[in-house]
Structure 1
């Protein structure tokens, strides 16, 4: 089963080689993503590909500003986990990755949220098949990026996928066992 193989291999990547993948590979992955199922076949997703260095830098600046606010008010288990993993408000992958794919959902479409994230799942596996890495980065407040890009009011930024050839040596986080996440005929 090729999908299972891709899913097992795919991991979060926050560090990228400087080589820029061919634009055709990005488009191949997006062709797979657009085949995802959606409520009423509304296909509520919109993908914006950014490869302009100035624009990537501006997106990083806006996101890091919002991350600072998020980190200043986060406490408890989440903050302990972030500290233990070494996460900080700085997001260098937003300017260092050769591409950013911003995924938006059309909020007036039925089941827009679920449908958009199914397309993201397809996109993640397609990128893996092409040897490209990414992380699903969700800004704590997407509004500044939406304003920068003049996003129509009915669309909401769901995630930013920095995309490139992986240079991240860390292993994939361990997954739970199948019996921990599956049951039949009831919870």
Structure 2
């Protein structure tokens, strides 16, 4: 399948079917992600696969506690948008998805942040090609999850990807037209 077709088809998935995809499929997607370019070829990413039910539940508990703090402090346009979209502190996908892939970046590497997120982009398209869905969930405070997993201090959690077969009926959100996001020879 062509990349443009994959990109057009790929959507955010927050609900998953209960059956567990083969680990081989997840590993295929991670093989694609590790091929992403990186500053000085540092390859600053680390992917932690979680399939243990207790650990997924604990990650969910920690993230929801941080989400409650975030929601209690958020006001204005952002809170209005969160409410209008139905976003709440509860994140059931963190324990319901068959797999979680936690993506970390090595903060001492050059261009670690950009490089890590390019790898995430590769991973998203590879998952789509394999018929797997996900959402890029970024906890408001990743520290409790980092502590739970004994993450070395030079690594920072960037996103948690719940992965499984999609069961989310929500359509893909619209995208801007090309002319709205592209210009030539200046902004």
1:148 matches 2:148: yes
Corresponding residue of 1:73: 73
How much has 1:171 moved relative to structure 2?
0.3
Q: Which runs of structure 2 are paired with 1:140-179 in the superposition (5 Å)?
A: 140-179=140-179
Deviations 1:93-142, CA, capped at 9 Å, x for gaps: 00000000000000000000000000000000000000000000000000
Structure 1 residue ranges (4+ consecutive) displaced by more than 4 angstroms after TM superposition: none
Q: Which runs of structure 2 are paired with 1:22-41 in the superposition (5 Å)?
A: 22-41=22-41
In the alignment, the residues of structure 1 paired with residue 77 and residue 119 of structure 2 have an alpha-carbon distance, to the nearest angstrom, of 30
Calculate the aligned-residue CA RMSD, in Å: 0.6
How much has 1:78 moved relative to structure 2?
0.8
Structure 2, unmatched stretches of 5+, are none
How much has 1:49 moved relative to structure 2?
0.2
In the alignment, the residues of structure 2 paired with residue 135 and residue 81 of structure 1 have an alpha-carbon distance, to the nearest angstrom, of 18
Corresponding residue of 2:54: 54
Deviations 1:13-67, CA, capped at 9 Å, x for gaps: 0000000000000000000000000000000000000000000000000000000
Structure 1, unmatched stretches of 5+, are none
In the alignment, the residues of structure 1 paired with residue 77 and residue 174 of structure 2 have an alpha-carbon distance, to the nearest angstrom, of 19
In the alignment, the residues of structure 1 paired with residue 181 and residue 78 of structure 2 have an alpha-carbon distance, to the nearest angstrom, of 22
In the alignment, the residues of structure 2 paired with residue 174 and residue 76 of structure 1 have an alpha-carbon distance, to the nearest angstrom, of 24
In the alignment, the residues of structure 1 paired with residue 76 and residue 56 of structure 2 have an alpha-carbon distance, to the nearest angstrom, of 32
Corresponding residue of 1:124: 124
In the alignment, the residues of structure 1 paired with residue 96 and residue 144 of structure 2 have an alpha-carbon distance, to the nearest angstrom, of 20
Q: Which runs of structure 2 are paired with 1:1-40 in the superposition (5 Å)?
A: 2-40=2-40
In the alignment, the residues of structure 1 paired with residue 75 and residue 3 of structure 2 have an alpha-carbon distance, to the nearest angstrom, of 38
In the alignment, the residues of structure 2 paired with residue 78 and residue 6 of structure 1 have an alpha-carbon distance, to the nearest angstrom, of 30
TM-score (norm 2): 0.99
Deviations 1:141-174, CA, capped at 9 Å, x for gaps: 0000000000000000000000000000000010
